Chain A
Amino acid sequence: EAQVTQNPRYLITVTGKKLTVTCSQNMNHEYMSWYRQDPGLGLRQIYYSMNVEVTDKGDVPEGYKVSRKEKRNFPLILESPSPNQTSLYFCASSNRGRGGGGAEAFFGQGTRLTVV
């Protein structure tokens, strides 16, 4: 089954304790992205990746890191989480838009992070 898998689904952590949210896709997609969803603000892009070893900042990258060492995985790293990073996070993947028929994105189920 084609899917994007995020782990964990729920996470409560303390300020300053490094954490990683994993994301894996089994569709051989080149494009992967992380979003955070906050009430009234919709989905905001944190980082995206066009391919292995190619990443770029989205609209709200501060406080986050990503890596793309393998095509299927795109982990989101919070080196020193703060309460303002409490949010619902989504990973998404797709084929490239150009040449990929304007490919639509597939989303993971989300990770609800609370930083206290």
Chain B
Amino acid sequence: AQSVAQPEDQVNVAEGNPLTVKCTYSVSGNPYLFWYVQYPNRGLQFLLKYITGDNLVKGSYGFEAEFNKSQTSFHLKKPSALVSDSALYFCAVRDMRDDKIIFGKGTRLHILP
């Protein structure tokens, strides 16, 4: 069965520094991978996705993610963090065999002023 792991419950980064939020996945076949962000008292918002092609995908709000097939990872990155990036981030995988979308447990990102 497919699964997603986000090994860090919380990540703290100083404003202006680069940030990375980690995600690893397990799925049979080719994965579709996603990142979502959740602000307080809001639903999840789509940030970016990897389907095929270039391993570095760019998304909303200056975020990008790097797909690494050999390490089965899809880490979320941003070159320079903003305080407004503080939120809960979810990695997700979609298995093309059954079309289910499975989420990781989430990583809370704190950007320190």
- A interface residues, Cβ below 8 angstroms from B: 4, 31, 33, 35, 40-45, 48, 50, 58, 90, 92, 94, 96-98, 101-102, 104-110
Contacts and interface: CB of A to CB of B under 8 A. Distances in A.
Contacts, number: 64
Nearest to B47: A104
Nearest to B46: A104
B99 interface: yes
Interface residues of B, number: 25
B103 A42 contact: yes
Interface of B: 6, 9, 32, 34, 36, 41-46, 49, 51, 90, 92, 94, 96, 99-106
Nearest to A94: B101
Given A96-B99, A97-B99, A90 B43 contact: yes
